[in-house]
Amino acid sequence: MNLSFISSLMDQYFGRMRSLMNNKELPARIRFLLQDTVELRENNWVPRKAFIDNGPKTINQIRQDAVKDLGVFIPAPMSQGMRMDFFLESPFMPNRMKLDRETLGGLADMFGQMPGSGIGTGPGVIQDRYSPTMGRHRTNPLFNGHSGHITPQPQSQFDMGPKSFVKSNQHFLSQNQNHMAQQQVQSKDMPPRFSKKGQLNADEISLRPAQSFLLNKNQVPKLQPQIPTMMPPSAQPPRTQTPPLGQPPQLGLKTNPPPIQEKPQKTSKKPPPAKEELLKMTETIMTEYLNSKNLIEAVAGVREMKAPKHFLPEMLNKIIVCSLDRPDEDKEHASTLIHTLRTEGLITGENFMQAFLSVLDQCPKIEVDVPLVKSYLAQFAARAVIAELVSVAELAHPLENGTHFPLFLLCLQQTAKLKDREWLTDLFQQSKVNMQKMLPEIDQNKDRMLEILEGKGLSFLFPLLKLEKELLKQIKADPSPQSIYKWIKDNISPKLHTDKGFVNILMTSFLQYISQELCIVEGDEQLAAPSKEQLEQEKQLLLAFKPVMQKFLHDHTELQVSALYALQVHCNTSGFPKGMLLRYFVNFYDMEIIEEEAFLAWKEDITQEFPGKGKALFQVNQWLTWLETAEEEESEDEAD
């Protein structure tokens, strides 16, 4: 396997590890292990502690590491002479006591036999500097004639009187304070987590063993006789308090027990109200709102309910149902409350649609008491559409294929009543809703749809559909151009005059009228080849309709292309009678109804919307080639 490929795989693995390392959802232990692995690779696979000796260490090495890492001073063990000097300088010693070998040996036995007075000697045991352990069988150069490193005093300090004793005691305390001052100076340079470990207070030093060193926890320490102090109270140094009876003595530093951290009591969260309680609260809010008409208090009440999201559709359902049997004014106020809740961000349009459909499912039961429940629901839907709580497409989707028919038409009726027809027409056209799919399957055709819409007063939504049905009747009643133009102006909105659908219907109506007048086509079949008289009559009818066609097609190439597609569909419907399409192309060109650019644009246009394009090109392709060549020659002549 190629090394570069392996390296790229490793980069991918560690890239994934880095992404997981920053994922807070993983446990901290796993993230730290990943971080260690990534850092190990970045360090050329050399561990951070690779050069640290983790083997056994001597006592001196341990002391050096403690000073270096923690700033804690661990003194070296005292020799026998140093321990005797410490004991002689102790403030517990009477100043007139005779210090002979037996006395000192007895005192050593006394301290050595105290329970827990020492932790023993031997390998691995670090002798404390202040430990009073003095076995009576140990040799002391002070009494056996060998001085060691301590020079014996020619005269005991106890024989020199109390002043000498106090002076030696103060000397010991001054040395201790100097050592503590050095440690405080060192602690300033240490990190905060080590600063407390290196600080020792003078009153924290104790010669008694710690509780953890006792061999038997139930063992009660023996009481030792207290040696009276011969010094005046003002000259006595600070001393530690003797633990009361039954409490084990402590050795070394006095540490207060760690405070017991009590876990904060878990605040018992109040459980959310049940569904029945929420419904009662909603009904109470609605009753008070419909009586007082105070919208602010109603919104505040809904906010204080703190209803969960899954309950919001049921809450809106309750709001709608509570107002169905009330006057129209109360229904309007209920709609206003719903729209305000949406504005405040307490509900969504999806919540409203869920509530709307759930009320529809209850209609069979509600109709017993409220027979016009669908009309009232149509009012809620119409106000929701006007307030942009839901769109026409969102309202139409669950009502397709005649579901709850004629509810969708009732919603459009109420919207037109509350707003206006023109606004609703623009909104409906923008929604791209297929009205035929909103009808029952048996009624999904143009004629039946137009009949139903006219019955509901909604035919204005499809002005072109009405135009297609009415314009041919008007042409047959009065084929004069003036009458036709006046009828179009009175019945068709000016916005539609430049609509491709309008031009398509206009041209189709003229072509159907001409074919029926000449008896050339009956239904979808050609009766006979037209005679010269019929062809002349066809030309005269086109000349009669020319002013109307030029009024809507002049200087609009795209509308002229739509007119040619209307002619294509008309010929395709008639079975492409021989010469019909070419004859109309020539007449439209000669009468200047359609310009050259429109013919060539129709030729180059590729669309599957209108059937028969292939057959149509086959019939007129030679003429279009001539037209294109004639244009080129004219352009050359003009250039010359």
Domains of the chain, first to last? 1-48 (no CATH), 277-461 (1.25.40.180), 465-520+530-638 (1.25.40.180)
CB 509 within 8 A of CB 471: yes
Low-confidence ranges of the chain (pLDDT < 70): 1-2, 49-55, 69-272, 520-528, 631-640
Dig out the tokens for 220 from the structure: 């009660």
* Residue type at position 239: R
- What was the pLDDT predicted at 583? 93
* Summary mean pLDDT of the chain: 75
CA 467-469-474 angle, 5° bins:
80
Q: CA-to-CA distance for 435 and 451, rounded, in angstroms?
A: 13
CB 117 within 8 A of CB 133: yes
Contacts of 76 (CB under 8 A, 6+ apart): 63, 129
SS3 at position 521: strand
Contacts of 257 (CB under 8 A, 6+ apart): none
Whose tokens are 């799919």? That residue is 437
Tens digit of pLDDT for each residue in 330-362?
A: 999 999 999 999 999 999 999 999 999 999 999
- What was the pLDDT predicted at 350? 92
Q: CA-to-CA distance for 270 and 124, rounded, in angstroms?
A: 60
Burial 7-18 (b: 16+ CB within 10 A, else e): eeeeeeebeebe
- What was the pLDDT predicted at 531? 84
- What was the pLDDT predicted at 220? 45
- What was the pLDDT predicted at 636? 59
CB 585 within 8 A of CB 623: yes
- What was the pLDDT predicted at 227? 43
Q: CA-to-CA distance for 582 and 588, rounded, in angstroms?
A: 10
Q: What is the largest CA-CA distance in the chain?
A: 165
Question: What is the reported pTM?
Answer: 0.48
Dig out the tokens for 269 from the structure: 């969260």
Tens digit of pLDDT for each residue in 233-285?
A: 444 545 545 545 555 544 444 455 555 555 555 555 566 677 888 889 998 99
Q: CA-to-CA distance for 614 and 611, rounded, in angstroms?
A: 8
Q: Which one, of 337, 351, 346, lies nearest residue 387 by Cα?
A: 337
- What was the pLDDT predicted at 229? 44
Dig out the tokens for 182 from the structure: 């050095």
- What was the pLDDT predicted at 589? 93
